[in-house]
Structure 1
C-alpha cells in the first residue's frame, strides 16, 4: 500500500562539487633502581603541532537538579544495600556516588573491623585489586605522551625475556605493549611464580624468569584473555622506562597529583585504625584473610585505597569529558584518558529476550576492552566504563558513566562479594531517578543565534536576511521564492510561532529546536557550515492538532485493528481503498503486536494527513499514518503502518 504523503518539509543540502571535500612513602629495597630506557625523541612533525581549533563551548549541558534527584532515590538504595548486607552475610562495605567531580553520596554498611566493631566510612582503606591495572595503564600512557615509548613497540624492547616466549604459529605478530594493555597478548592468566605467599615479596627476577618458555595461548591480537601476568610485566616496563620502582613512579606521578593521600602499597603503611579487615569464606564462615605480598607483580593488583581516594580517581577519569579546549590539569592528557576508555578490541554482542517486567522487549549488550578498562553499552545504559578487583579478602568495583558525569565505587571487605547483586538495583534506582541520564549536547551560541534568526524569517520573510543566513549552496537549491512559499503555508496552518526549547543536539553545529505555535507545533532542525557559520541544512517538521474528523477516523481504525468493530468498514474507509489489503494489514498488526491504543501525534498538516503513535500491548510500537478522502469527508483514503522510531537503541514496551 502506498505511504501517505505527510507534510515533512525537508530543506537540506549535500553539496560536493568537483574538487571539493565533504565538509605514599616508598618501601626500602637493597637492589639498585632500574635504569631508564633512553629513547630518542622523534623530530617534530605537523601531526605533533597543536591543532587549529574552533572556539566552542563545552559540549554538554549540566543538570543542576541531579543531586536533588540522587537524594530522592537514596532511601531506596540504602534499603536495598542493607538487605544485601544481611542476605550475603557480608562483614562490611563502603559505597560512593560521584557527580560532576565530587563525592555526592557515600556510606559504609556493616563493620570494617568486626573485632573492634568499627564502622566503615569514606576514609576506610581497602585493597582494590585489579583496579590497580588502570593505574598501570595510566602510567604507560604518561610515558607514551612524553615520547618515551610507543604502544606498538615490541614489548621485548623493554623486556628481552619476551623474545623467548613460544608463539602458536610462525606468522604470529610479536607481543606489543598494546597487546599487554588490552589483554590480547596470548599470555596466560598467571605467571610461573607465587604471589600469594604472605611471608615474602615476589621479586623482579622471579617475574622475569617466568617468561622464557611460556607458551602463548593464542596468536597475539586475535583474542582476549585476561592476564595478570601481562600487567605484572607492564609494571616492569614502567620501571625500566621511568628509571624508578613501579610503586614510586605511580605514587609520585598519579596518586600525589590527584590528592590520593590514603592510597598506599603495603598493609603496614595504612593509617592506624583505617584498614578494613579483608575476609574469605571457609566452611561457610568468614575468616580474616592474609595479605599477599605482590612485590614486583603489584602492577596487576597491589594498591590499597579509600573510597574518598577512589572517588578522586573516578572524578579525574570523568573530567576528560567532553572533549574541549582549555588547560590540561590532570596527571594524564584528557585525550589519553578517553583513549584508554575506548574500545580497542572488537565488541562482544549478546541479544536475549527480556523478562516480562523489563522496560525493553530485548536485552541487548555490547562489551569491549580498552587500555586496561572494560566497557559496555546496553538497552538500559549508554557507554559505561568499568573495572573490578578481587584479592586476598577484598572486592572492589568502579564504573563510570562518561556522558552523565557520574561514577559509582564499591569497596568490600569480603572476597566473595556478589557485586552485581549489590549494584544492579542501585543502578536501576539512579537510572529511574534520572541521575545517570546522559547530558544533552550544547549547541553553540552561533547555532542558537541562527535558529532565532530563522524564526524571525518565519514571522516576516526578508530576502536579504535569508541570503545572509544560509550558505550559497543551500540558496542554489532553495530559492528565496521557494522558501517563502513553504513558510507561508506553515503560517497558514499553524499561525504565529515562538522559539521554544532545545529538543536534541548533535554537537555544537547541529540541533533541533521546538517552536510553539497558535495551532499545534513545529520543530526546526538546522546544521551550520563549519567554515562560514551559515545554515547548510534546514528542516521543518510540522505537527498540527488533529481535527475532530481525523481523530474520530483514527479511533475507528484502531478499533478495527483491535477486533472491536465499532463501525462498519465501509463507514471508516472510502471506496478508493482496497478493503482486502487493509484488512490483511490490520490483522497482521493485531497478530504481531496485540491490541493497540491511539497515542500522540507525530506529524500532520492538520486537516487531511496525520501520523499517530500506536502503543501496543506486545511492544514494537507503531506509527499509523492516515490520509482522509476530500471527496468523502470523514473517511480514510490511505493507511500506512510502520515501526515507530525508537528514542533509545532497543524497542521499548508500551
Structure 2
C-alpha cells in the first residue's frame, strides 16, 4: 500500500517515550520491547492515531500515544475519545449478570419473556430450542455471524429495532449447535436490559457501572463528545484518508456503541482484574467479584489455533471459547486469558487480561477494523517471560503441610503407619498396605532416601504437588485430599526421576 507523503509521515511516526512507567513494575528492557512491538505493528498497519496501556496490579504501568486524532490534527492523548466497538459487549454481559443478581431475570429465561416481539418467531426445525438469555450471551442462538452488517445497524431507533425483531430472523442453524458471532444477539441483550431494568440500556450501564468506576468521559452518545477530544474514524481509500460516517447512538449500542478514553477504560480493566484472586473482605466494585469471574467461563465450542504474533517455531496453541462478552483462552505464557477485539467503521481495538497474573494490555486506533491484537498479546508475553508477571501463588492450606510431613515419614519408614488416621476409605482399597511397602521399596531402589524437600506447590486448597531431593535423583509427587470432613488423603502419587 502506498501512502502519500503527509499520510506516510503521520502513519509511520515512531512511538514516543512512554508516558507512565515504573522500573519497579516493568523492567526497562521490556519497556523497550513492548514499544517496539507496537511500532512494528503500526508500520505494517498505518493508522492516524494509536494509544495503548499496559496494566499491572490494577493500575496503568506503561502507556504511549502516537499520531493524531485527525490527519494533521491534534495529537492523540490518554483522554482522546475512541469508539471501542465490540469491546462494549463485556459491559452488556456484566449488566445482564448484575440484573440476574438483582433477581430481575434468570439466565435460563427465554429471551422472549423479556422481549415480547420475539414470541412470534418461527424456529428452523420443530425440535429447535427457543433462545435463552445465556444463548445470546455466548453467541449460540443459531443466528448468523453478522460482521460487518451489525456495525451499520448502530443508528437504528428503538422503534425500528422493534419492527425488525417482530419480523423474525432467517436462521443460520438450529440453536445450540455451534458458535456464530451475533451482533444482533447482543442488541437483543440490550433490549432485555432496558425492559428488565425499567430504564434505557445506556442509562442503566452509566448508573450501575460507569459512574461507580469514575468513567466520566465514557458515553454512547457521540453528541456528548467534545470535538477537540475526539479521534475521528478513518479508512485508507484511493491513496488518502477518508473519514467514516459518525454514527449516532441507537438500538444496537449494546453490541458496540461505547465511546471511551484510555484513562477511563483502564479503570474498567483494573476493576475486572480486581476480582482475582477470590478472597474474604468487603465488595467494593459495582458488581460482585464472583459475578465478574462468572462472565469469563468459556462455555462452548472451543476453537484451537496458533498464537497470533508468535514466531513460526512457537509450539503453543490457543484453545479459545466464548464466555460472556469475552473470549477465554488458555495461554502457555499467561495461563487463563480474557480477550476481545473491537472492529468498527473507523476504529479498531483489542484487550487481553491475564487475571491470574494481575496484568492486562489494550490498544485503540482510529482506522477501520485495525484491531492491534498482535502487539497486545506480545506485550504480555514480554512481561511473563521476563518474570514481571508471575502467577499469584496459591495459599498453602496448613492441613496439606501436615499431610505432606506424614507422607515423608511414611516414605522414610517404608510403611504407611505414619499415615494412620489420615487416609480416606478408598486408599487401602486401591492399594493395600503390603503393596505400599513394596512400592516404597521399589522407589527407594531407584532414587534412594530423600532427605530434603523443595517448597510445596499447592494446586488448590485440597491438593499439593511436591518434589523431594533424593540420594540418586528427585522424587515428584502429589497429595490429593478427599471431599469429606475432616479431609483425608484419597491419593498419594509418586514419580521417581533418577539422575
TM-score (norm 2): 0.82
Q: Which residue, out of 80, 84, 93, partners 1:124?
A: 80
Once residues 427 and 183 of structure 2 are traced to their aligned partners in structure 1, the CA distance between those partners, rounded to angstroms, is: 57
Q: Which residue, out of 63, 70, 75, partners 1:106?
A: 63
* Contact 1:168 1:215 (C-alpha < 8 Å) held by counterparts: no
Larger Rg: 1
1:203 aligns with 2:157: yes
Distance 1:158 1:406, change over 3 A: same
1:511 aligns with 2:469: no
Deviations 1:290-332 (A, max 9, x none): 3211323211211111222222222322333344554433323
Once residues 235 and 144 of structure 2 are traced to their aligned partners in structure 1, the CA distance between those partners, rounded to angstroms, is: 25
Map 1:234-633; keep pairs closer than 5 Å: 234-270=189-225, 273-350=228-305, 357-360=312-315, 364-377=317-330, 382-417=335-370, 419-423=372-376, 425-435=378-388, 438-439=391-392, 441-455=394-408, 465-471=418-424, 474=427, 479=433, 483=437, 486=440, 490=444, 494-495=448-449, 497-502=451-456, 504-530=457-483, 531-545=485-499
* Residue 29 of structure 2: aligned partner: 72
1:358, CA displacement in angstroms? 1.0
Secondary structure of 1:341's counterpart equals: coil
1:215 aligns with 2:169: yes
Deviations 1:23-76 (A, max 9, x none): xxxxxxxxxxxxxxxxxxxxxxxxxxxxxxxxxxxxxxxxxx996565432211
* Residue 112 of structure 2: aligned partner: 156
Once residues 444 and 374 of structure 2 are traced to their aligned partners in structure 1, the CA distance between those partners, rounded to angstroms, is: 54
1:260, CA displacement in angstroms? 2.0
* Residue 604 of structure 1: aligned partner: none
Distance 1:534 1:114, change over 3 A: same
Distance 1:334 1:197, change over 3 A: closer
* Residue 52 of structure 2: aligned partner: 95
Secondary structure of 1:105's counterpart equals: strand
1:224, CA displacement in angstroms? 2.8
Structure 2 runs not aligned, ≥5 long = 1-21
Secondary structure of 1:512's counterpart equals: strand
* Residue 20 of structure 1: aligned partner: none
Once residues 99 and 311 of structure 2 are traced to their aligned partners in structure 1, the CA distance between those partners, rounded to angstroms, is: 50
* Contact 1:281 1:416 (C-alpha < 8 Å) held by counterparts: no
Distance 1:71 1:323, change over 3 A: same
* Contact 1:401 1:436 (C-alpha < 8 Å) held by counterparts: no
Distance 1:487 1:271, change over 3 A: farther
* Contact 2:349 2:371 (C-alpha < 8 Å) held by counterparts: no
* Contact 2:235 2:241 (C-alpha < 8 Å) held by counterparts: yes
Distance 1:164 1:70, change over 3 A: farther
TM-score (norm 1): 0.64
Once residues 328 and 439 of structure 1 are traced to their aligned partners in structure 2, the CA distance between those partners, rounded to angstroms, is: 20
Once residues 496 and 225 of structure 1 are traced to their aligned partners in structure 2, the CA distance between those partners, rounded to angstroms, is: 55
CA RMSD of aligned residues (A): 3.7
Secondary structure of 2:268's counterpart equals: helix
Secondary structure of 1:180's counterpart equals: helix
1:250, CA displacement in angstroms? 0.5
* Residue 5 of structure 2: aligned partner: none
Once residues 151 and 496 of structure 2 are traced to their aligned partners in structure 1, the CA distance between those partners, rounded to angstroms, is: 67
Secondary structure of 1:263's counterpart equals: coil
1:247, CA displacement in angstroms? 0.8
* Contact 2:400 2:462 (C-alpha < 8 Å) held by counterparts: yes
